[in-house]
Amino acid sequence: MNKKKGIVYLVGAGPGDASLLTLKGLWCLEQADVVVFDRLACEYMLTYCRPDAELIYVGKETNRHTLKQEEINSLLVTKARKGKVVCRLKGGDPFVFGRGGEEAESLVDNGLPFEIVPGVTSAVAVPAYAGIPVTHRDHASALTVITGHRRSDSGPIPLKEDGSATAIYLMGYENLNAIISGLLDEGWKRETPAALIRWGTRAEQQTVVGTLANIEDLARDAECGPPAVFVVGNVVTLREKLMWREKQPLFGKRILITRPRHQARELAQEIILQGGEPLCLPAIELEATADCGLDFSQLPTYDWLIFTSANGVFFFLEQLRANKIDVRCLRGKLAAIGPATAAETPQVIA
């Protein structure tokens, strides 16, 4: 990536589970000078940011926007004009009801380069995490993805029933009543299976299953709210057989990791693979002291050099570089306490 000229990468972060970020999205995140991120971007993703990267939150909730869309557009333009590499980390896919098109237009209008990095859209990932395939040879041969919010006041778009389609409404909770009424008016039967999935792919994922006749009442009783994906069609009946997410050992658990960001990744990865969600909130910052108490000029005289932590190995190497000491001057034996320290220690004699 060329960092000499400002550029904006419009990156889809996926629906919430950090492991669904694409490889190119990860590369953009690692190289960015500035990361402008949404409400749905998992905190774990930010562990891959450079330590000196500027992190700017622009999340939106119902009737509560950190920045208006026009202000976000202006922010991207301002940062790129300063020669910054900007990663605009957006929930889902930038071009699937993500206003990525508006942000890209703004960059074009201001003569600024950009790239689109598609993301895993919640339209298919969220139902999948709830055990609902959006298409199935025996149940649905087509799917339609519709927004639950429209810029005009004309209400949600109704969809005609053809007996072999799945209707997926993103951001569908607030207008749920109007969506259901529109579907019934277009010929969908009241007994058509329906599911409302809140915070899909996240630790707090919640799935309510019913029919068009009762899903609204069931959702209210379950205290289900936004953000939610509304799925309508016969494929919903497969959830009972195919549900898998809820069976993972750490499903529903959000686990706090207080280690430095760069040391949190391995544990966070294991938490994600077990169905949990890591919350990386570093409570420790490690710095070298002005005087480490070690006379580096005497290193060749030591019989033993014992490392007690991986951090100790790191800072020892940093001191060698700072003092311009060749690592080959070590003549004694090396020892390490703990497997993590041992894994780092061979670097000293590489």
Look-up: residue for tokens 């001057």? Answer: 329
Residue 171 annotated as catalytic: yes
Instruction: Indicate the burial class of 340 (C-beta count within 10 angstroms; 0-12, 13-18, 19 or more).
Output: middle
* Cα–Cα distance for residue pair 47/131, rounded to 1 Å: 29
Look-up: residue for tokens 């990865």? Answer: 269
* Cα–Cα distance for residue pair 87/27, rounded to 1 Å: 10
Q: Kindly list the distances between the CA atom of residue 162 and the CA atoms of 88, 93, 121, 142, 327, in Å, as whole numbers in the listed order.
A: 39, 28, 24, 10, 73
Residue 1 annotated as catalytic: no
Max intra-chain CA distance, the chain? 88
Assigned token pair, 251: 């499903």
Residue 109 annotated as catalytic: no
DSSP state for residue 92 in the 8-state scheme: B
Residue tagged active-site, from 17, 33, 45, 60: 60
Residue 178 near residue 230, CB atoms below 8 Å: no
* Cα–Cα distance for residue pair 116/27, rounded to 1 Å: 13
* Cα–Cα distance for residue pair 277/289, rounded to 1 Å: 34
Please choose, from the candidates 15, 24, 200, the residue with its C-alpha nearest in 3D space to the C-alpha of residue 121: 15
Which phi and psi (to 5°) does residue 256 adopt?
A: -85, 130
Instruction: Indicate the burial class of 256 (C-beta count within 10 angstroms; 0-12, 13-18, 19 or more).
Output: exposed
Q: Calculate ∠ Cα 217-219-224, nearest 5°.
A: 150
Residue tagged active-site, from 17, 33, 38, 93: 38
Show which residues are catalytic.
Answer: 38, 60, 171
